[in-house]
């Protein structure tokens, strides 16, 4: 899952591979066709609670691309995608979209979504702009995750 969450679509429509694994560089580019990413690219660093009010790094990142889905296994570290996954955990709970150069996370089904720095809830059906340094609480439940947004800049 960690590798799948690092996949990024190549912006070169002629690229034979179409997708590549992000290499953690500050200037992302496709290793197959050498096309540099154009524009801003959100990277979500995942942290999870081990006890109330304390978050530890999960050493897990989620690369964002337009129309990418967010699932319960991203929201809570105690949920693992596998063949026994409960049906209610298989549905996406949010998605990402870029509009006019601005990236958003759209909350479809995360009742606890909150901007940590401003303590403002992000209700279901609304969106939050992804900016560098933003911290978003995805869930208050045991194992709930917090994401810290990092923006990579393309050419």
Torsion angles phi and psi, residue 30, rounded to 5? -70, 125
Domain that holds residue 134: 4-153
Per residue in 108-142, pLDDT tens? 999 999 999 999 999 999 999 999 999 999 999 88
pLDDT digit string, tens, across residues 61-77: 999 999 999 999 999 99
Opening angle at CA 78, ends 20 and 4, nearest 5: 5
Please give the model's pTM, rounded to 2 decimal places: 0.90
Beta bridge partners of 36: 29
Among 37, 64, 61, smallest CA distance to 47 is for 61
Query: Domain total for the chain?
Result: 1
Residue 88 backbone phi and psi in degrees, to 5 = -70, -20
Strands 114-115 and 135-137 come out as: antiparallel
SS3 sequence of 102-146: EEEEEECCCCCCEECCCCEECCCCCEEECCCCCEEECCCCCCEEE
* CATH code of the domain covering residue 30: 2.60.200.20
């Amino acid at each position: 899952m960690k590798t799948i969450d690092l996949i990024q679509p190549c912006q070169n429509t002629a690229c034979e591979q179409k997708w590549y694994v992000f290499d953690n560089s500050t200037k992302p580019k496709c290793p197959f066709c050498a096309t540099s990413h154009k524009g801003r690219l959100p990277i979500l660093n995942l942290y999870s609670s081990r006890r109330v009010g304390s978050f530890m790094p999960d050493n897990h990142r989620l690369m964002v691309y337009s129309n990418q889905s967010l699932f319960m296994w991203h929201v809570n570290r105690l949920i693992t995608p596998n063949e026994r996954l409960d049906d209610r955990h298989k549905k996406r709970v949010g998605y990402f979209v870029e509009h006019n150069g601005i990236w958003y996370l759209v909350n479809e089904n995360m009742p606890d979504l909150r901007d940590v720095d401003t303590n403002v809830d992000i209700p279901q059906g609304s969106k939050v702009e992804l900016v560098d340094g933003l911290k978003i609480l995805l869930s208050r439940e045991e194992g709930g995750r917090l994401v810290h947004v990092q923006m990579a800049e393309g050419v």
